[in-house]
Structure 1
Amino acid sequence: MALEQPGTSEGNPEAQDGEPIVIKKYANRRLYNTQSSTYVTLETLATMVRRGDDFVVVDAKSGDDLTRAVLAQIIFEQETKGQNLLPVRFLRQLIGLYGDNLQSFVPSYLEASMEAFRKNQEAMRQSLSEAFQTPAGGMQIFENAARQNMALFEQGMAMFGLKTPEHGGPHGGGMPAKEGEVEALRAEIDRLKEELAKKA
């Protein structure tokens, strides 16, 4: 099948009539925006995501949906550039859930968590701006976030009639889950303070 002729711009107009923009991926890994008639890059798609453009990526030959794989590739590219959003511990835990009997619950839980975060972004920015004027204020923000995240987790577990683990170790040893979450956040705050001090 012949490739469509590329245009001269990587612009991405909004999808029309509520339909997602179709991005075709060819065997040579090139990506083609069928709406703007241009070849695009992963960085272009990342910009489209930030802008809120809805798109799907399909295999140009088979028509298979490749959206998930391409979005994961965008995340990988961003992470390798040093823009780290995914802690190593989180990645290990996520990998560990593949094949677990709770695997089917993970997507909806992560979606709910990110949606709650998105809805509160502006309020969080304002709160962080005010709170980080003092170290104690910044600590309080993270402790509140830890409590909210744990509450969301407990709600999700309760939906499926599952008990929330109270302790970190398999035999009930270690600190309670909530306390452990706060301690992890405190350690992260200390690390951020050290980085800021070095840049000052």
Structure 2
Amino acid sequence: MTTQSEQKSETVIIKKYANRRLYNTQSSSYITLDHLAKMTREGIEFRVLDAKTGTDITHQILTQIIMEEEASGEQMLPVNFLRQLIGMYGNSMQGLIPHYLEASMDQFRANQLKLRKAFEESIESNPLAKLAQQNIAMFQAAAAAFIPGAEAGGETAAAEPAKEKPAEGGTREELDALRSQMAEMQKMLDKLAK
């Protein structure tokens, strides 16, 4: 578990100069708002300080990134939400809004992670998903049998049946094996459909 002092030492300091250039003190290089947006998406903590005064201007820079994202066609904030948000400035509830929005976003992210995990677990235990994987492997094997060099483009696990090169007369046997596999799969699908 990281302590608060360790977290602060992990925070990247960005200095903003009067000429509007941003300087990453960790990498010793000039960066852009796009770099900061990418750092944010990657979960990298940073603080932006005015190079002359030392004032923390992280909030302003993050707001500027949102403005640029919204202007570039990546609009995520509905007009009605923006109107309501603007209407809250100066309101007696203004102090509660940041905490409410932060808690709502944290809850949204937690729900998103739970949903993703549940979806992944359901695929692993789903017989239809396993059947789909078998179908993909079978089709890749069939493609390898009929199209020279097709097995090179498939996934290693799924294309293993295609790796064995048949002897001169082996293609007929392969086709018969594929047909019997397809018939078995059709039976399984029919049982699942009932």
Partner of 2:62: 71
Q: Does 1:103 align with 2:83?
A: no
Give the alignment's TM-score, normalised by structure 1: 0.54
Equivalent position amino acid for 2:83 in 1: R
Q: Specify the alignment match of 1:60 in structure 2.
A: 51
1:196 aligns to what?
A: none
Task: Measure the CA separation in 2 of the matches of 1:30 and 1:118.
Answer: 32
Structure 2 counterpart of 1:93, one-letter code? Q
Query: Equivalent residues in 2 for 1:76-155 (5 A)?
Result: 76-125=67-116
Alpha-carbon distance change, 122 to 55 in structure 1, aligned in 2, over 3 angstroms: same
TM-score by length of 2: 0.55
Q: How many residues align?
A: 114
**Higher helix content, 1 or 2:** 2
Matches of 1:124 and 1:96, distance apart in 2: 33
> What residue ranges of structure 1 are gaps of 5+ in the alignment?
1-15, 130-200
Between the aligned partners of 1:85 and 1:127, the Cα distance in structure 2 is: 26
Q: CA RMSD in A?
A: 2.0
* Distance in 1 separating the partners of 2:63 and 2:95: 19
Measure the CA separation in 2 of the matches of 1:83 and 1:126. 27
Q: What percent of counterpart residues are identical?
A: 55
Query: 2:26 — aligned with what?
Result: 35
Larger Rg, first or second structure (1 or 2): 2
- Measure the CA separation in 2 of the matches of 1:85 and 1:57: 24
Question: Within 2, Cα distance between the matches of 1:124 and 1:87?
Answer: 24
Structure 2 unmatched runs, 5+ = 121-194
